[in-house]
Amino acid sequence: MSGFPFSAVVGMAELRLGLVLNAVSPGIGGVLVRGEKGTAKSTMVRGLAAILPDVAVVAGCRFSCDPADPDPSCPDGPHEPGAASVTRPARLVELPVGASEDRLVGALDIERALTEGVKAYEPGLLAAAHRGVLYVDEVNLLHDHLVDLLLDAAALGTCYVERDGVSVRHAARFLLVGTMNPEEGELRPQLLDRFGLTVEAAAPRDAGQRGEVVRRRLAYDADPAGFAERWQQTESGLAARIVAAQGLLPDVVLPDATLRQVASVCAAFDVDGLRADLVTARAAIAHAAWEGRGEVTAIDVRAAARLALPHRRRRQPFDAPQLDEEELDRALAGAGEDPDDDPGPGDDGPGGGEPEASHETTPAQDAPSPRAEAAPDPGPDGQPPGPAAQAPAQPRPGAAPAGPPAAPGPVFRVKRLEVPGTGTGAAGRRSRARTESGHVTGAQRPRDRAARIHVPATFTAAAPYQVARGRAPGGGLLLRPGDLREARHEGRESNLVLFVVDASGSMAARARMGAVKGAVLSLLLDAYQRRDKVGMVTFRGSGAELALPPTFSVEAAAARLSALPTGGRTPLAAGLLRAGDLLRAERIRDPRRRPLLVLVTDGRATAGADPVAGAHRAAGLLAAAGVHSVVVDCESGPVRLGLAGAVAQSLGGVLLRLEHLAAAPLAESVRAISGGFRGVAPPGQQEQEVA
Residue 76 Cβ vs Zn ion, minimum distance, rounded to whole Å: 5
Q: Is 65 in the site for Zn ion (CB under 5 A)?
A: yes
Residue 482 Cβ vs Zn ion, minimum distance, rounded to whole Å: 36
Interacting residues of 135 by C-beta distance below 8 A, sequence separation 6+:
45, 46, 92, 93, 94, 95, 177, 178, 179
Q: Is 63 in the site for Zn ion (CB under 5 A)?
A: yes
For residues 61 and 271, which CB has a smaller minimum distance to Zn ion in the complex?
A: 61
Q: Is 293 a catalytic residue?
A: no
Q: Is 61 in the site for Zn ion (CB under 5 A)?
A: yes
Q: Is 67 in the site for Zn ion (CB under 5 A)?
A: no
Q: Where are the strands (E) in 389-526, listed by range?
A: 427-435, 439-444, 486-493, 496-502
Integer-rounded Cα radius of gyration of the chain: 29
Which of the ranges 56-64, 132-140, 178-186, 424-432 carries the binding residues for Zn ion, by CB under 5 A? 56-64
For residues 83 and 672, which CB has a smaller minimum distance to Zn ion in the complex?
A: 83
Q: Is 195 in the site for Zn ion (CB under 5 A)?
A: no
Q: Do the Cβ atoms of 252 and 300 come closer than 8 Å?
A: no
For residues 171 and 332, which CB has a smaller minimum distance to Zn ion in the complex?
A: 171
Which of the ranges 13-21, 54-62, 191-199, 578-586 carries the binding residues for Zn ion, by CB under 5 A? 54-62
CA dist 383 and 613 (Å) reads: 34
Q: What is the 3-state secondary structure (H, E, C) of 523-569?
A: HHHHHHHCCCEEEEEEEECCEEEEEEEEECCHHHHHHHHHCCCCCCC
Residue 64 Cβ vs Zn ion, minimum distance, rounded to whole Å: 7
Residue 57 Cβ vs Zn ion, minimum distance, rounded to whole Å: 8
H/E element, 460: helix 455-462
CA dist 69 and 58 (Å) reads: 10
CA dist 176 and 628 (Å) reads: 41
For residues 74 and 411, which CB has a smaller minimum distance to Zn ion in the complex?
A: 74
Catalytic residue among 103, 275, 293, 671: 275
For residues 77 and 645, which CB has a smaller minimum distance to Zn ion in the complex?
A: 77
Cα dihedral across residues 127, 73, 19, 140: positive or negative: positive
Residue 492 Cβ vs Zn ion, minimum distance, rounded to whole Å: 38
Report strand pairing: 533-540 vs 496-502: parallel
* Maximal CA-CA distance, the chain: 91
For residues 160 and 459, which CB has a smaller minimum distance to Zn ion in the complex?
A: 160
- Per-residue contact string for residues 256-285; x = within reach of Zn ion by CB under 5 A: ------------------------------
Which of the ranges 61-69, 104-112, 116-124, 366-374 carries the binding residues for Zn ion, by CB under 5 A? 61-69
Q: C-alpha distances in angstroms, 204 versus 13, 198, 211, 297, 325?
A: 11, 18, 10, 30, 20
Residue 110 Cβ vs Zn ion, minimum distance, rounded to whole Å: 23
Which of the ranges 63-71, 264-272, 316-324, 663-671 carries the binding residues for Zn ion, by CB under 5 A? 63-71
CA dist 380 and 228 (Å) reads: 67
Site residue total, Zn ion (CB under 5 A):
6
**Residues within window 473-512 making contact with Zn ion, judged by CB under 5 A:** none
For residues 76 and 319, which CB has a smaller minimum distance to Zn ion in the complex?
A: 76
**Residues within window 70-129 making contact with Zn ion, judged by CB under 5 A:** 74, 76-77
Q: C-alpha distances in angstroms, 425 versus 143, 179, 436?
A: 12, 25, 11
536-545 as b/e: b if 16+ CB within 10 A: bbbbbbeebb
Residue 126 Cβ vs Zn ion, minimum distance, rounded to whole Å: 14
Q: Do the Cβ atoms of 452 and 486 come closer than 8 Å?
A: yes
Q: Which residues are catalytic?
A: 275
Binding site for Zn ion (CB under 5 A): 61, 63, 65, 74, 76-77
